[in-house]
Amino acid sequence: GESVGLHLPTLSVQEGDNSIINCAYSNSASDYFIWYKQESGKGPQFIIDIRSNMDKRQGQRVTVLLNKTVKHLSLQIAATQPGDSAVYFCAENVINAGNMLTFGGGTRLMVKP
């Protein structure tokens, strides 16, 4: 498969455990945030998004937390499964600035069976 990053930070978790992936964003004007999952040989896949008027948003097995004070975003995955193994990217955007996303460097999640 194609490598999406040779020296990514890696999070290794046991199957069934919860995973927390963190992201620090840079632009205090950013007001829309997205998490993507990228598997080898594929493009980024949308997981969940959150707007700056919210602190928390939940999806199926995933939760995103936003702390605007310290410009920090996290993705929590409940009951991590082997199929969750991938590289995860956070992205930030400024509303009214089109779809110009700024991506973080990514975190590789490895799930041990």
Contact 61, 111 (CB under 8 A): no
- Could you tell me the smallest distance in angstroms from the CB atom of residue 8 to other proteins? 9
| Residue 99 makes contact with other proteins by CB under 8 A | yes
| Residue 97 makes contact with other proteins by CB under 8 A | yes
- Could you tell me the smallest distance in angstroms from the CB atom of residue 26 to other proteins? 13
| Residue 95 makes contact with other proteins by CB under 8 A | yes
Binding mask 26-55 for other proteins (x = CB under 8 A): ------x-x-x----xxxxxx--x------
Kindly provide the residue ranges of all beta strands, DSSP E only, lying in 25-61, ordered along the sequence: 32-38, 45-51, 56-58
Between 14 and 45, name the residue whose CB sits nearer to other proteins. 45
Residue 70: partners with Cβ closer than 8 Å, 6 or more residues away: 24
Instruction: Tell me how many degrees the CA angle 76-23-17 measures, rounded to the nearest 5.
Output: 25
Contact 104, 25 (CB under 8 A): yes
| Residue 2 makes contact with other proteins by CB under 8 A | yes
| Residue 6 makes contact with other proteins by CB under 8 A | yes
Strand order in the sheet with 19-24: 19-24, 72-77, 62-67, 56-58
Per CB under 8 A, residues contacting other proteins are: 2-6, 32, 34, 36, 41-46, 49, 89, 91, 93, 95-106
